[in-house]
Amino acid sequence: MEAILVVNAGSSSLKFQIFGLRGASELQRLVKGQIDGIGTRPRLRAQAHDGSSLIDKSYPSQEITDVGAAIRTVGAWLRERESFDLVAVAHRVVHGGPEFDRPVVVDAGVLARLERYSALAPLHQPNNLAPIRALLSHRPELTQIACFDTAFHRTHSPVVDHYAIPESFYAEGVRRYGFHGLSYEYIADRLRQVAPKVAGGRVIVAHLGSGASMCAIEGGTSIESTMGFTALDGLPMGTRPGQLDPGVLLYLMRDNRMSAAALEQFLYHQCGLKGLSGISNDMRELEASAARGAVLAIDHFVYRIALNAGMLVAALGGLDAFVFTAGIGENSPDIRGRVAAKLAWLGVVLDTSANAAGKSLISEPRSKVALYALPTDEELMIARHTLPFLRVLSRR
């Protein structure tokens, strides 16, 4: 069976899915898996389409030391375990810069251009590109597609995307990009199926995970996002601070003698929920803790979500629906409930039973704003973006 491999590479993990092709436009999820603990405690797990386990195997740390080794391990396992005719590999790439506003076939030239944006997303971009580089070297005949988290937000107006700095910097690419676009694009499409009337209106989607952001969507189109030039902006995250007065950075450089490298390490790895709590970047651990730092971190997280919601409501000129998604948004009834309480001024009324049960619609009928909790699926969105390229290639 012809199939697409979708790769979503992180700093210490590699998520992947295999989608079988039925005809020119139908996708069938066949395998879903990941390797986590890369370089420390590598573990490969995968499930079939029915949820049954296909593999759960741990490896010595020296056997899978980086993302390139992880993709080779996954590839070897897939060749042994499954009889796929792999026709393309599609990748999530966090930053497309000002140049890439839609999916693209990757060759050595495109890869070199994408490497220029690694400094703008140091947690993600190098790892996104590592499997592309590995496959270009070991399987150059395979078609590779890059899909960008920034692309969905390229519909923003210039007023939205400009910073109040000289225009010459905008021309260089210093602008507000927004991220998590593949997730937002999937949710916008999913809403058309779940609530078609709402999907055409004014919607805020809160992608709440280790990385967190929010997006204002009108008629299925992104008009504003909490993230900007890099994935440091907006909401507090697992280890990133979110919105920060630039004067804080000047202070750290001048008074604490922090170098650019030290600042980067600090902002990407030591802040956010982890820095504020002094305990963990994992919301599950914080919710289970009664420590003062944990309570403060959660209170701050919820407060900033509500505060940014107000900003996005202003951008939309009103609100018809609010959607929670990603790891925290999908799995934490407490966070959803606390955010909903802070949105009561908008006429939000939470259905506490539906929220506790993990239903899709979690607002009461009398609520003026519909509340939803919807799982996201970036890998499926990537696979969908890949199909048009395969149709073009099949005609050659």
85-93 and 143-148 strand pairing = parallel
104-105 and 43-48 strand pairing = unpaired
351 as an active site residue: the answer is no
Instruction: State the Cα–Cα distance between residues 181 and 177, nearest whole angstrom.
Output: 10
Are 389 and 36 contacting, i.e. CB atoms less than 8 angstroms apart? no
Catalytic one among 149, 161, 320, 377?
A: 149
Token pair in block for residue 258 = 């922090």
Give me the helix-helix angle, 108-115 and 125-138, nearest 10°: 160
Among candidate residues 242, 262, 245, the one with its CA nearest the CA of residue 253: 262
- What residues contact residue 266 under an 8 Å CB cut-off, 6+ apart? 252, 258
Catalytically active residues, by annotation:
149
